[in-house]
Amino acid sequence: MTPPLFTIDAILKATGGRTEGIEAEAINSISIDSRELGPDALFVAIKGDRFDGHDFVDAALANGAVAALVSEGRGSGPGRIVVPDALGGLRDLARAARARSRAFIVGVTGSVGKTTTKEALRVVFEAAGETHASIKSFNNHWGVPLMLARMPETAQFGIFEMGMNALDEIRPLSQMVRPHVAVITAIAPAHLERLGSLENIARAKAEIFDGLEPGGTALVNADHAQIGDLIAASAAAKVNSLLTFGFARGTDWQIVNPQSAADRSFATVLHGDRQYALALGVSGRHMLSNATAALATAHIAGIEPDVAIRALAGFGAQPGRGLRKTLGPAAKPLLLIDESYNANTASMVAALDVFSAIDAPGGRKILVLGDMLELGEQADNLHAGLAEAVRMSGAERVHLVGKHMAALAAALPGGLVASHAETVGNGEDVIVADLAYGDAIMVKGSNGVGLARIVNAITARFEKS
């Protein structure tokens, strides 16, 4: 019989809380959204930027939650577990889940590729045993404890993504997760607005080392200028084992002979005197790098390389991160590449490189590019700096969205820019009206720009022939 996620007694012991009219003896899921409740759910009433969960406690209990974790002084009534602070209580549950677990734990961070790498790790570890992994991009001060608290006691592997916007944000997350392997995917110009320099970004990402379990391993991408900063940070954190991966010569897991087709990637990965043939169902050098991180982590965890290689062969792009949709008639479809979830200069260049290898099914190659956010004073220069990559992509028409994309528009040949709008709302109709079956279109921008709305509009318009 599968044990419950937590008994009510275990919750009280972990949080120091008290009950008010609790009839249930255990919970089997945890949620912070009253509209999305799993079986025998505990609803945690955290206060977010836009909503306060305490306003939805009654709705959660009415929708099937068996209990609600609430802050002291924020209402009373049956079905409640009262703690000093609901978010603090969630963190207490996360620590309790970690303390009882015998799983092999991996933490993942980086400026680009962390969610894709987390998904590659999930695919590999699921082939080897019961695996618990973060969903979506739940990687912040509430997302990480929520994901950790949800980890079943029976899990053999746990994979947790950690993000940040400033210094001193990843450290407490890593100290809560206590990974056996800490993966850093890359250092790139993201969050410059608050951090100011690549060196500070490297410092912030290196905080993941401070939570490593004794004897744990740091696994870092070597294909960026801040690799020396990460090596120094690992030494300062007294990490005994640091391994590197990437295309750079001399890495512990070196990628050689990379090849990409329209929807496939191939490479050889060298490790010591062994070499592994890596084949993925998705295109791009960056995807080969993410998969190599998963292969190396699996090796550290004791998973046979053949198991990892077979699992990675079925690994594909995720929604908002390169997922491809073929819409309309088979003879002449519209090819839509959805990269709408995230963007910085490194991921933009990588996506444009993938787009360069793609042929339109029978029409034109079209780009929709949205602002890269949180780049601070360097934003306009970094947007303008994309011009060469856009030209090399083979795009015949480019639609731009966001105020900083004005800098890219000025750097591109005038005939290439089909439109520029400061908001999605102002650009959506123009973009959709410009498309036709046979075109290949890639949509790429930071999530905050809202380009998912354009992806949805294109899908609705063209998915039926």
Closest CA to 293 of 116, 104, 138: 116
Closest CA to 327 of 439, 430, 450, 453: 439
Annotated ligand binding at 269? The verdict is no
Q: In the structure encoding, which two tokens stand for residue 210, read together?
A: 């401070």
Annotated ligand binding at 47? The verdict is no
Annotated ligand binding at 110? The verdict is yes
Coil, strand, or helix at residue 295? Answer: helix
Closest CA to 374 of 82, 165, 124: 165
Coil, strand, or helix at residue 39? Answer: coil
Sheet order of strands, 80-83 included: 18-20, 80-83, 67-71, 41-44, 29-31
β-strand pairing of 274-280 with 265-271: antiparallel
Annotated ligand binding at 112? The verdict is yes
One-character DSSP codes across 400-447: EESTTHHHHHHHS-TTTEEEEESSHHHHHHHHHHT--TT-EEEEE--G
Annotated ligand binding at 238? The verdict is no
Q: Which residues 6+ apart lie within 8 Å of 321 measured at CB?
A: 115, 116, 338, 339, 341, 342
Annotated ligand binding at 113? The verdict is yes
Sign of CA dihedral 380, 384, 386, 390: positive
Annotated ligand binding at 111? The verdict is yes
State the binding site for ATP.
110-116
State the binding site.
110-116
